[in-house]
C-alpha cells in the first residue's frame, strides 16, 4: 500500500487546526468534529473516537458526498449530516468546526445566546443563533442546522445542550470563528462577575 495520501497540504492544515483547538482547550478527549471541502463533492473529515491531539494526517478520512469513505480507515463523525447540509446551502463555506468549548457550551446548555459585548465580536460574529435541542447525528438536527446556516451572515451557532459549530471559507477561518465565540462567551460570563446583573437595573 502506498504511503502517499491525497490532499497532503490540506491534511497538514487540518491537523494544525486540530492541534490548535486542543491546545486552546476548545475540545478535550475524543469529542468535536471537523471537516474540509477539498474538491467538488470530496471532503476531509475527522474520524470518530480519536482525540484532536492524537489525530495524524493519514488518519483523516477522505469522503464523498454520500458519506462513503474513499480513503482512510475508521468511521466518520456522526455529525456528518449536519456538516453536509451546511456545504449544500453555503457555497462560500469550505471548512466546518464543531466543539464542546466550555464557556460557549455553558450558554448552550442554559439555552441562552452568547451576548456579543465587545466591538470586535459585534462586528465579526454579528449574531450567533441558538439552535434547538435535537439528538446528535439526527435528521432533525441537520435540518435545523441547514436552516440556520442558509443565511450567509451566519458564521457560528450554538447547539442547545451540546456545543458550538462554526464555518469559514477554509478550516482556519472556521477555527477563528469558534475561538472568537468562545472568547466572547468567556467575556460575557466574566463581565457578569465584574458587574453583577442587578447593577444594570439601578
Q: Which among 79, 179, 182, 183 is annotated as catalytic? A: 79
Q: Are 167 and 111 in contact (CB under 8 A)?
A: no
Q: Alpha-carbon distance 150 to 37, whole Å? A: 17
Q: Is 79 a catalytic residue?
A: yes
Would you say the C-alpha torsion 144, 149, 153, 158 has a positive or negative sign? Answer: positive
What's the alpha-carbon Rg for the chain, to the nearest Å?
17
* Phi-psi group of 8: left, alpha or beta (phi > 0 → left; psi -120 to 50 → alpha; rest → beta): alpha
Q: From its phi and psi, is residue 29 left (phi > 0), alpha (psi between -120 and 50) or beta?
A: left
Q: How many of the other CB atoms lie within 10 Å of CB of 97?
A: 33
Whether 154 contacts 148, CB under 8 Å:
yes
Please give the grid coordinates belonging to residue 122.
459585534
- The residues carrying an active-site annotation are 79
Amino acid at each position: 500500500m502506498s504511503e502517499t495520501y491525497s490532499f497532503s497540504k490540506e491534511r497538514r492544515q487540518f491537523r494544525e487546526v486540530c492541534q490548535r483547538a486542543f491546545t486552546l482547550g476548545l475540545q478535550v478527549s475524543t469529542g468535536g468534529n471537523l471537516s474540509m471541502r477539498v474538491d467538488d463533492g470530496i471532503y476531509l473529515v475527522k474520524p470518530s473516537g480519536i482525540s484532536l491531539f492524537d489525530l495524524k494526517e493519514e488518519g483523516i478520512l477522505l469522503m464523498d458526498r454520500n458519506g462513503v469513505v474513499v480513503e482512510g480507515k475508521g468511521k466518520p463523525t456522526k455529525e456528518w449530516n449536519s456538516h453536509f447540509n451546511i456545504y449544500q446551502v453555503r457555497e462560500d463555506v469550505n471548512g466546518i468546526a464543531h466543539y464542546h468549548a466550555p464557556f460557549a457550551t455553558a450558554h448552550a446548555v442554559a439555552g441562552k445566546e452568547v451576548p456579543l459585548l465587545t466591538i470586535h465580536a459585534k462586528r465579526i460574529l454579528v449574531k450567533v443563533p441558538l439552535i434547538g435541542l435535537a439528538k446528535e447525528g439526527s435528521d432533525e438536527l441537520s435540518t435545523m442546522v441547514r436552516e440556520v446556516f442558509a443565511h450567509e451572515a451566519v458564521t457560528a451557532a450554538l447547539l442547545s445542550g451540546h456545543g458550538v459549530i462554526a464555518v469559514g471559507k477554509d478550516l482556519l477561518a472556521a477555527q477563528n470563528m469558534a475561538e472568537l465565540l468562545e472568547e466572547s462567551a468567556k467575556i460575557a460570563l466574566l463581565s457578569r462577575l465584574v458587574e453583577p446583573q442587578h447593577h444594570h437595573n439601578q
